[in-house]
Amino acid sequence: MLQMNLHKDYESLITDFHRFNNRFLTINEKKKVTFVPIDQILYIQADRSYSTIYYRDEGERRKITTCNNLSFFEKQLLGHDFIRIHQSYLVSRLQIHEFTKKDRKVKLICGDLLPVSRG
């Protein structure tokens, strides 16, 4: 009986962990680990092997820089409506307000303008 309960508790813990991981992006910084809700991420900008994650937190705009490259986050966010618009930008589709054809730029709901690569 005890073993059955332990098994159920273990399965419940694993289910909760996967549910948690599916809603949050885990970001390893030098001195801490930050969990950012995926639906709060605006975009991620690459700078060589570093990436800066721009997101909203309680109405404030914040950013975190980490030593993971953009491809790492592209894999982590697969299936979460993020698109690679440029070699340096991964953007949440939900944050895109408009695309300017002439300038090849995406304007986000927050007002940021990001470049779009040609094809």
Positive or negative: CA dihedral 38, 80, 26, 106: negative
- Residue 49 above 90 pLDDT? no
pLDDT in tens, 71-89: 999 999 999 999 999 999 9
pTM over cut 0.95: no
CB atoms within 10 A of CB 82: 21
Query: Domain 24-93 belongs to what architecture?
Result: Beta Barrel (2.40)
Percent of the chain residues past pLDDT 70, beyond the cut: 82
- Residue 14 above 70 pLDDT? no
pLDDT in tens, 51-78: 999 999 998 999 999 999 999 999 999 9
Amino acid letter at 4?
M
Domain segments of the chain as ranges: 24-93
